[in-house]
Amino acid sequence: MITGESGTGKELIARAIHYNSDRRAKPFVVINCAALPDTLIESELFGYERGAFTNASQKKLGRFELAHSGTLFLDEIGELNLGTQAKFLRAIEQETFSRLGGTEEIKVDVRVIAASNRDLEQLAKHAEFRQDLFYRLNVISLFLPPLRERRDDIALLLDHFLRLKAQEHSIATKSLSPEVVDFLTLYPWPGNIRELENLIERVTILTPHETIMLRDLPAGMRSSDQTATLKEDVLSGSRPLSDAVDEFERDLIVKALQRTGFNQTKAASLLGTSRRILKYRIEKLNILDPNDVDDEVKLSP
**What ranges do the domains of the chain cover?**
2-144, 148-284
CA proximity to 94, closest of 136, 52, 135: 136
Residues paired with 72 in a beta bridge: 29, 112
Is domain 2-144 in CATH 3.40.50.300, yes or no? yes
* Whole-number Å distance between alpha carbons of 61 and 87: 16
Dihedral of the alpha carbons of 230, 236, 237, 242, in degrees to the nearest 10:
20
The residue among 195, 155, 145 whose CA lies nearest residue 175 is 155
Give CA–CA dist 221/219, Å, rounded.
5
Which of 30, 37, 32, 39 lies closest to 100 in space, CA to CA? Answer: 39
Quick one: pLDDT at residue 230?
66
Tell me what pLDDT residue 295 has.
42
CA gyration radius for the chain? 25
pTM: 0.67
Residue 146 to residues 15, 103, 116, 195, Cα–Cα distance (Å): 19, 45, 13, 12
Beta-carbon contacts of residue 61 (< 8 Å; ≥ 6 apart):
47
Please check whether residue 32 is in contact with residue 76, taking contact to mean a CB–CB distance below 8 angstroms: yes
d(CA 156, CA 177): 15
Domains 2-144 and 148-284 fall in the same CATH topology: no
Residues in the chain: 301
Residue 21: predicted pLDDT: 96
pLDDT value of residue 298? 41
DSSP lists the bridge partners of residue 104 as: none
Calpha distance 96→102 (Å, rounded): 13
The predicted structure's pLDDT at residue 292: 57
Please report which helix (H) or strand (E) contains residue 28, including its range: strand 28-32
Distance between CA 47 and CA 41 in Å, rounded? 10
Task: Report the alpha-carbon distance of residue 32 to residue 266 in Å, rounded.
Answer: 54
pLDDT of res. 229: 62
Element (H, E) at 181: helix 178-186
Residue 200: the pLDDT is 97
Quick one: how far is CA 192 from the chain centroid?
5
Q: How far apart are CA 187 and CA 199, in angstroms?
A: 12
Is 98 in contact with 105 (CB distance < 8 Å)? yes
pLDDT of residue 30: 95
pLDDT tens string for the chain (301 positions)? 999 999 999 999 999 999 999 999 999 999 999 888 887 888 889 988 876 666 777 888 889 999 999 999 999 999 999 999 999 999 999 999 888 887 788 999 999 999 999 899 999 999 999 999 999 999 999 999 989 888 889 999 999 999 999 999 999 999 999 889 988 988 888 899 999 999 999 999 999 999 999 889 988 787 655 665 666 667 767 678 777 778 788 888 888 888 888 888 888 888 888 888 888 888 888 887 765 544 443 444 4
pLDDT at position 274: 83
Strand, coil or helix: 81: coil
CATH class of residue range 148-284: mainly alpha
- Nearest-angstrom CA–CA distance, 205 and 61: 41
pLDDT of residue 269: 86
